[in-house]
Amino acid sequence: MSGKESTMTASKRALSAVVGVLLMVAVVGVVGFTLHSASADPHKKLYATKTAETIVVDGKTYPKATITMGVYADTAQAKEMGYNTINKKDYVQYGPSSHIVLPAHTYVTMTIHGYDGGEKLNAPFFGKVVGTVGGTMNVDGVDVTEIPADQVQHTFTIHSLPSSNRDPLFVNIPLQHVDEGDNGFLPTKDPGTNYKGHTMTFSFITGGAGEYVWNCEYPCGDGTYAKFGAAMSAYGYMSGKVSVA
Amino acid sequence: MSDDHGLVEMEPTPGEKLAAIFKQREVRVATAWGVLVTAIFFVIGGWIYPSWMPTAMSTDMKSIERLIVIFTWISAPVCGIVLGFSIYTFLHRHKGDTPPADGPGFRTNSLVVGLWVIVSSALCLVAVVYGLIEMNSASAATAEHKKNAMVVEVTGSQWAWSFNYPEQGVQSHELMLPINRPVEFKIISVDVNHSFWPVQLGVKVDANRLQTTVIDTTPNKLGDIDVKCAELCGLYHAYMETSGKVMSADDFNTWVTAHQGGHTA
Amino acid sequence: MTTLDHHASVRPVPNPSKSLITKLNMGTGLVVGVIFALATYYGLGGDSAGVFENYNRTLLATMFMWSIGFMVGIGAFIGPFRWLVGKDLTDEEQLYLAGDGQGIKRYFKYCTDHKVVGIQYMVGVMALLGVGGTMAMMIRTNLIQPGSKFVGPTIYNSLVGLHGITMIIAMIIVVTGPFGNFIMPIMIGAADMAFPRLNALSWWVLFTAIPVLCSAWFLGGIPTGWTAYAPLSIQAGPGMNAFIATIIIFAVSTAVAGANITATVVAMRAKGMKWNRVPIFVVGATMSVALAIPAFPTFMVSMIMTGLDRSYATTFFDANLGGSGWLYAHLFWIMGHPEVYVILIPGVAVLMEIAPVFVRKPLFSYNAAIAGFAGITGLSILVWAHHMYMSGWMPMLNGPFMVTTEMISVPTGLIFLVILGTLWRGRPWMKLPMLGVYAFLWNFLIGGITGLYLSDVPADNYLHGSMYVTAHFHYTLMGAALTGALAGLAYWFPKMTGRMLNERAGYISFWLVQIGFQVLFLGMFIAGAEGQPRRVADYSVNFATSDLISSIGAYMIGLGMIVLLWAVIHSWRHGKIAPMNPWGSKTLEWTVPYPVPLVNFDTPPVVTSDPYGYGKAGN
Amino acid sequence: MSGDTRFHVHHDAPIQVGRRERLGVRLLIVADGAFVFGMIFSYFYLRNLNANNGWIPEGGHTLSAMSGWVSVFPLIIAAITHRIAMKSGNAFKNIAPITFVVLLVGLYLQWKQLAHMPFQVDGEAEGEKIFGFEGAYASSWVLIAGANMFHYILGAFVALGVALRSRRNDLNAVLEFWRQRTVGSWLTWIAISGIACAITTSII
């Protein structure tokens, strides 16, 4: 802010303008890049394993695929169970990845191991099994169509945005909670412990390619309001993506 | 402030004053611009704008479309006046690095100000009255609906909608409605606030935490409905959408029977 | 609460160079603030307080103690303390506080000179707009195509909230901060503001809110949008505390600044400046801050309640225990709607000030302008519930609120009349500030008319909570108010910096921003009409075209704003030296030289007419 | 420009400065008034809404109306003693400390009330104590009492200020008189606000 009259030549001024503008564009770009990498999907996607078998449902033949996930009370438990979680916080979480990839037009059989306790669903509707073949799932060998709202540990709910060019896919699976009395409810450092938990198995049929999301509808975060804070409000713990490709 | 320096110095009747104003060439040119702008807004409001909106599947949505068209038409002349006159002055701008010579020194014109206030109040009144009439007919329809309405209990939870049909004993994640039967939505949220928005039905109300709100409508066209959440509700607000259908009474009954087992496939 | 006032001092005059006030500056403020904050944080157990409520309590206390500590460290409480013990500041000390002869250093001190505060505000506002604008770019980048491929929903939601609140804060102070402090006292012929120390307080308190707001990024963000509706805000993570603390600190700053500006205009006008001779900018700015005085405390109440709900488990907003989210919405919008006029009116007033100068005609119907401002100000406190048509709180009251809301279109119409009447039959001198007047007319027209649909209850059934709303309020806040503020920047830049703003860069920026703005928000109107909800990280493919159009427009605005920022920085350093009155204006601020002397005028000016005496008398 | 000019311009007449300061304080009172309005509005809004019968939940406590009034009386007395002191002219410096002491007593009473409210629900989570409040009534009460407390602190500060200042002889008498009036505005306002809050909390 000196009192001197500017002596800048026109070309110098133009150069300064170009450099200045580019510099600021670069700053915005760096901010964008930082945010982008901070919010990127988990580096590892979880792919369904295709099998050679096929199955006929309602007169149509589908190839088969299987996929297995687990849900853990916290990071320590996930690690104990052999999954290297990439999540940073010690939250309840699904593993081994929050981004699952399923083949299109396929009969997908999914297995979820649940090792967590539970209290009560906010919305009892999500105690029902929805969207699976036959409307049932198999809990430790028994077929069920729903789990009472106060016996759910988590849910695995796939849904999507309605749009004209994507096949609808809605699957809701409530997971039977593990009683305090059950062996293996919480992880211990004792290597001899047998983690029992519960195993939920179910099948559904994917449509055409498209992006979907899944999340848990069971209030397992913290906070005073409906327990949907913390883990539930952080992407990649109890929520994630489903890519049908 | 007095109008000693008014645009028109004679003191005849307001009508004559107005006529005198319109005799000025610049007023007529600006008005011509205004008419052009008005026409453009007429077209946008009457045809282009409604074409962006989704199919109306209830009388509520139909009346919203009509209302938006009429409001655009009411405002078209306002746009015409403002833009017509500003385009005129913009085209007669002063170029150069030195300020222009001083313009005419008039400070107000009570006729123009008075006319402006009267016309804008009148337009405002039209909008208010029209809106009140529409609201009134909507609430009259509500009273009519109450008699024969099918109740649907809507539950908003983070981040999915679920629907309960107490009369039919059916629960679903999709909104299925029979055509031409009034439906009464009872909406509640079990966690934070959501907003229940079946887009093509032209109704909307917040799902408040543990407080029930009620809206009603009558679907009158077969087709798909998008059900969205219009109130930011956390992480997956964007994905809190589901689909629905307006179906014939027979199809609806078939759907009910198929789902009375307690699950939907 | 004192000013540079006179009293018969019989005590020996202390040497200010040995006084404590000479040792304090922004650095000591930062140090003391950080010490206070750290002591509070670790004193309350740091992040080992695992319980939701306890951790929130710790964070809130830390943030407030930072703010208090900073104010202690920069010396804000010396004045009140000296008043308490009855040893008022001496003339020398007050002169020292006013930054007399301290060069560039005074910008980093608790400086009571209104011109210093004005520049501080200007730089602060530009920084806030830059941060908010960068976040807007990120939002639009994410929405280029469906699928939320750029950032995940956590970061997207935080971007929406932080962009919103940063921009709202920036827009509230964008005119009354820089121009209300720097220009306005000179414009009314005053030597300084009524309460110079409160003036410094309002800026530095606001300054302490900026790091608090930024800390939200490192605490998990603000996932609630700028409206921070409860109960979502109660559920939100620790970042929400930053929002609460920011708003409470900001509300203090606003109340103080509002009282100060209002008192200055009421009590310190030059001799002869009767109410009908006050420049319209001063009238508009004063009405807006006077409106802010009663409006913001209700926001503060709602934020205190949110803070209590989060950190002490009260139940103001938990319907399970007698609370209600509607209560939050009421308190918020009782502030929230007046607040949009607090943003709008000063911007409009700037343009009304500019138009007569560049058309060289008197302001058309000064009284209509005042009636317009007064009508908007008065009605704005009666319309808040139009934001709640669809909340279901009491549908039977929607009708009355619809009537009051639509009535606002009449005083708003007067604003158009005043500007059009001023332009009419003149030959506008198309300098940069004047371009802003035309941009305003178009933008505010679109913003106003789209507001008509939203004010109507049946139409709001469709439009509420959609992109349409977002486009509408950007047309009013950005298209109208920010355009006014930027026109003001171009207009007063010579007086504030002594140099002319680079004109060519200014034009390039203007057209990039304005055209980009139309592309962005007309695209967003289409998305809204198609039925896209607002604040969504992802959307169905049927909105893809309109969202792509919007994003292209956003990049144009971004580039334009960067050009403007370059022009401001470059012109400030190397620009053409400005003459005393480059635009040939008749208001008082152009009668003082650059740099403006400490007390503005050598001899107090006497005003004999309003500043719009352009043109030949009569016709 | 000489230094003299500089001083000359800044030195408005004490009466002008005094009036200006009182105007500023009155404007801040408007802001504070909006704050108090917000609290009272919330109280009645939640009371009439009584969502899920949670205004006073089952088994919830109430606080007697008298409790609210007791902590407001000192505010009223302080406003009155300040007025008496102002009227007494030269005796101001002897009466002014009484105002301060009254406000200190009030501050103590208010603190007592706040610390002994029966609404608290103690709980434990993850081994740490958490506090909760019974319902909307309790929450609103706590907020109002807290605001009163804040008024007491500011009131005591300005009362101490005028009391101390009145004992000095080197201050401008006219300006000091105006400052006493300004402080009077604030003390009157906090008394009015206290009464409004006490009336509010009397309606359970």
ipTM of the complex: 0.91
Of B49, B103, B199, the CB nearest to C427: B103
- Cβ neighbours of D52 in B, within 8 Å: 210-211
- SS3 for C478-530, per residue? HHHHHHHHHHHHHHHHHHHHCECCCHHHHHHHHHHHHHHHHHHHHHHHHHHHH
Higher pLDDT among residues B10 and C173, named by residue:
C173
The full DSSP string for D99-126 is HHHHHHHHHHHHHHHHHT-TTEEEEEET
**SS3 call for C612:** coil
Query: Residue A7: its pLDDT value, please?
Result: 58
Which chain B residue lies closest to A226 (C-alpha atoms)? B191
Could you tell me how many residues make up chain B?
Answer: 265
Residue C616's pLDDT band, with cuts at 50, 70 and 90, is low
Is C54's Cβ below 8 Å from some Cβ in A? no
State the best of B31, B158, B195, B231 to mutate against chain C, taking most chain C CBs within 10 Å: B231
- Cβ neighbours of B187 in C, within 8 Å: 392
Mean pLDDT in chain D? 88
Distance of residue C138 Cα from the nearest chain A Cα, in angstroms: 6
Percent of chain B with pLDDT over 90: 65
**ω into B159 cis (within 30 of 0):** yes
Query: Residue A164: its pLDDT value, please?
Result: 63
- Cβ neighbours of A228 in B, within 8 Å: 158, 191-192, 234
Higher pLDDT among residues D127 and D87, named by residue:
D87
Inter-chain CB proximity B230 and C533 less than 8 Å: yes
Q: What is the average pLDDT across A200-214?
A: 91
Interface of D with B in 39-68 (CB under 8 A): 51-52
Query: Residue B7: its pLDDT value, please?
Result: 52
Is C266's Cβ below 8 Å from some Cβ in D? yes
Higher pLDDT among residues B164 and A193, named by residue:
B164
- Cβ neighbours of B173 in A, within 8 Å: 125, 130, 159, 170, 172
Residue A75 has pLDDT above 80, yes or no: no
Distance of residue A68 Cα from the nearest chain C Cα, in angstroms: 24
Inter-chain CB proximity B238 and A161 less than 8 Å: yes
A41-244 belongs to CATH 2.60.40? yes
Name all chains with 3 or more CB-CB pairs below 8 Å to chain D: B, C
Residue D129 has pLDDT above 70, yes or no: no
Q: Tens digits of per-residue pLDDT, C67-103?
A: 999 999 999 999 999 999 988 888 888 888 888 878 8
Q: What is the average pLDDT across A163-171?
A: 80
Query: Residue B10: its pLDDT value, please?
Result: 52
Q: What is the average pLDDT across C375-388?
A: 92
Higher pLDDT among residues A158 and B261, named by residue:
A158
Q: Tens digits of per-residue pLDDT, B209-234?
A: 999 999 999 999 999 999 999 999 99
Distance of residue B207 Cα from the nearest chain D Cα, in angstroms: 15
Residue A43's pLDDT band, with cuts at 50, 70 and 90, is low
Residue C565's pLDDT band, with cuts at 50, 70 and 90, is very high
Q: Which fold has domain C115-591?
A: Cytochrome C Oxidase; Chain A (1.20.210)
Residue D9 has pLDDT above 90, yes or no: no
CA distance D150 to C171: 30
Distance of residue C308 Cα from the nearest chain D Cα, in angstroms: 9
Q: What is the average pLDDT across B93-122?
A: 90
Query: Residue C455: its pLDDT value, please?
Result: 92
Q: What is the average pLDDT across C442-459?
A: 93
Residue A158 has pLDDT above 60, yes or no: yes
Residue D159 has pLDDT above 70, yes or no: yes
The answer to whether D31 and C258 have CB atoms below 8 angstroms apart is yes
Q: Tens digits of per-residue pLDDT, C506-538?
A: 999 999 999 999 999 999 999 999 999 999 999
For chain B, the helix, strand and coil percentages under 3-state DSSP, each to the nearest 5: 45, 25, 30
Multiple choice CATH, D3-202, 2.40.50.100, 3.30.2270.10, 1.20.120.80, 3.40.190.10: 1.20.120.80
Inter-chain CB proximity C566 and A21 less than 8 Å: yes
Residue B262 has pLDDT above 60, yes or no: no
Angstrom CA distances, B82 to B76, B78, C436, C449, stand at: 10, 6, 15, 12
Residue C382's pLDDT band, with cuts at 50, 70 and 90, is very high
Of C83, C301, C321, the CB nearest to D136: C321
Strand partners, A56: A61
Residue C582 has pLDDT above 90, yes or no: yes
Considering B41-50, B60-69, C161-170, the range whose residues carry the highest mean pLDDT is C161-170
Q: Tens digits of per-residue pLDDT, C477-486?
A: 999 999 999 9
Is C391's Cβ below 8 Å from some Cβ in D? no
Percent of chain B with pLDDT over 70: 94
Residue B263 has pLDDT above 70, yes or no: no
Inter-chain CB proximity B158 and A232 less than 8 Å: yes
Query: Residue A40: its pLDDT value, please?
Result: 66
Residue B187 has pLDDT above 90, yes or no: yes
Query: Residue A96: its pLDDT value, please?
Result: 84
Inter-chain CB proximity B261 and A135 less than 8 Å: yes
Distance of residue D49 Cα from the nearest chain B Cα, in angstroms: 11
Is A127's Cβ below 8 Å from some Cβ in B? no
Query: Residue D127: its pLDDT value, please?
Result: 61
Residue D198 has pLDDT above 90, yes or no: yes
CA distance D142 to D138: 6
Half-sphere exposure (CA, 13 Å, Cβ side) for B180? 3
Inter-chain CB proximity B195 and C390 less than 8 Å: yes
CATH architecture under which domain B148-259 falls: Sandwich (2.60)
Of C6, C319, C324, the CB nearest to D14: C6
- Cβ neighbours of D32 in C, within 8 Å: 297
Distance of residue C449 Cα from the nearest chain D Cα, in angstroms: 31
Q: Tens digits of per-residue pLDDT, C328-355?
A: 999 999 998 999 999 999 999 999 999 9
State the pairing for strand pair A93-95/A152-159: unpaired
CA distance C283 to C286: 5
Is C253's Cβ below 8 Å from some Cβ in D? no
- Cβ neighbours of B66 in C, within 8 Å: none
Residue D148 has pLDDT above 90, yes or no: yes
Query: Residue C350: its pLDDT value, please?
Result: 97
Distance of residue A233 Cα from the nearest chain B Cα, in angstroms: 5
Name all chains with 3 or more CB-CB pairs below 8 Å to chain B: A, C, D
Question: B121 Cβ partners below 8 Å, 6+ apart?
Answer: C410
Q: Which of C511, C501, C487, C176 is nearest to C351 (CA)?
A: C487
- Cβ neighbours of A229 in C, within 8 Å: 52, 235-237
Of B164, B226, B238, the CB nearest to A162: B226
Helix C503-530 vs helix C483-497: crossing angle, to nearest 10: 160
Of C456, C536, C583, the CB nearest to B71: C456
Inter-chain CB proximity A6 and C541 less than 8 Å: no
Residue A244 has pLDDT above 80, yes or no: yes
